[in-house]
Structure 1
Amino acid sequence: MNRFLKQTALATMVASFALANPSSARMLDPEKPEDALEIMKRTQCGTADGVPAVYHWSGKVYSRVQGEPDRHLYNGEGMNIRQCVRIEDPKRGVGYRQVSREVMFYLDPKTNEVLRTWDNPWTGETVKVMQIANDPVNSRPNYPYRADGTPYTLPNIRQQGNWMFMPIEVPLFYHNVLAGDYQDYVGNKYHAMEIFDFTMLADEILDTNNPTAYPSISWVRISDWMPWMKMRGRQGQMVFNAMGAKLKSYDELPDVIKDEIALNYPEYTAPPPGDDPRKNETTWTVFKKMIDVERAAEADKK
Structure 2
Amino acid sequence: MSKAKFLAAVALGATLATPALARQLDPSVPADALEISKRVQCGEADGKPAVYHWQGNVYSRVAGEPDRLLFKGEGMNIRTCTTVEDPKRGKGWRLVSREIMLYLDPKTGEVLRKWDNPWTGETVDVMHIANDPVNQRPSFPINADGTPYANASLRREGRWFFMPFEVPLFYTNPLGGKYQDWTGGKYHAMEIFDFAFDADEMLDTKNKTAYPIVSWVRISDWMPWMKMRGRQGQMVFNAMGNKLTGYDELPAVLKDEIALNYPAYTTAPPVDDARPNETTWTVFMKWVDDKMPAAKPSGGH
Fold conserved between structures, TM > 0.5: yes
Deviations, residues 204-254 of structure 1 (Å, cap 9, x unaligned) = 111111111000000000000000000000000000000000000000000
One-letter code of the match for 1:76?
Answer: G
CA, structure 1 residues 125+166, in 2 after alignment: closer, same or farther (shift >3 Å)? same
Determine the C-alpha separation between the residues in 2 that align with 1:236 and 1:206. 43
The percentage of aligned residue pairs carrying the same residue is 71
| TM-score after normalising by structure 2 | 0.91
2:61 — aligned with what? 64
State the shift of 1:24 in Å.
1.6
**Pairing 1:182–2:158 present:** no
**Pairing 1:34–2:21 present:** no
- 1:263-302, aligned counterparts within 5 Å? 263-295=260-292, 297-299=293-295
2:105 — aligned with what? 108
One-letter code of the match for 1:163?
Answer: W
1:152 to 149, 154, 162: 149
| TM-score after normalising by structure 1 | 0.91
**Pairing 1:233–2:230 present:** yes
**Pairing 1:172–2:177 present:** no
Deviations, residues 40-86 of structure 1 (Å, cap 9, x unaligned) = 00000000010000000000000000000000000000000000001
State the shift of 1:139 in Å.
0.4
State the shift of 1:168 in Å.
1.1
2:128 — aligned with what? 131
State the shift of 1:291 in Å.
1.9
One-letter code of the match for 1:71?
Answer: R
CA, structure 1 residues 52+300, in 2 after alignment: closer, same or farther (shift >3 Å)? farther
State the shift of 1:22 in Å.
9.3
Determine the C-alpha separation between the residues in 1 that align with 2:35 and 2:184. 40
Q: Helix, strand or coil for the counterpart of 2:295?
A: helix
State the shift of 1:283 in Å.
0.5
1:213 — aligned with what? 210
1:82 — aligned with what? 79
1:18 — aligned with what? none
One-letter code of the match for 1:35?
Answer: D
One-letter code of the match for 1:265?
Answer: Y
1:201 — aligned with what? 198
Give unmatched runs, 5+ long, in structure 1.
1-20
1:242 — aligned with what? 239
Deviations, residues 7-61 of structure 1 (Å, cap 9, x unaligned) = xxxxxxxxxxxxxx99721111111110000000000000001000000000000
State the shift of 1:186 in Å.
1.2
Contact 1:196 1:218 in 2 (8 A): yes
One-letter code of the match for 1:125?
Answer: E
Determine the C-alpha separation between the residues in 1 that align with 2:286 and 2:19. 51
One-letter code of the match for 1:298?
Answer: A
State the shift of 1:298 in Å.
2.8
Larger radius of gyration: 2
Determine the C-alpha separation between the residues in 1 that align with 2:128 and 2:86. 38
1:4 — aligned with what? none
Contact 1:136 1:279 in 2 (8 A): yes
State the shift of 1:300 in Å.
6.1
2:253 to 249, 256, 277: 256
Determine the C-alpha separation between the residues in 1 that align with 2:92 and 2:296. 49
Give unmatched runs, 5+ long, in structure 2.
1-17
Contact 1:155 1:168 in 2 (8 A): no
Contact 1:169 1:193 in 2 (8 A): yes
Contact 1:29 1:206 in 2 (8 A): yes
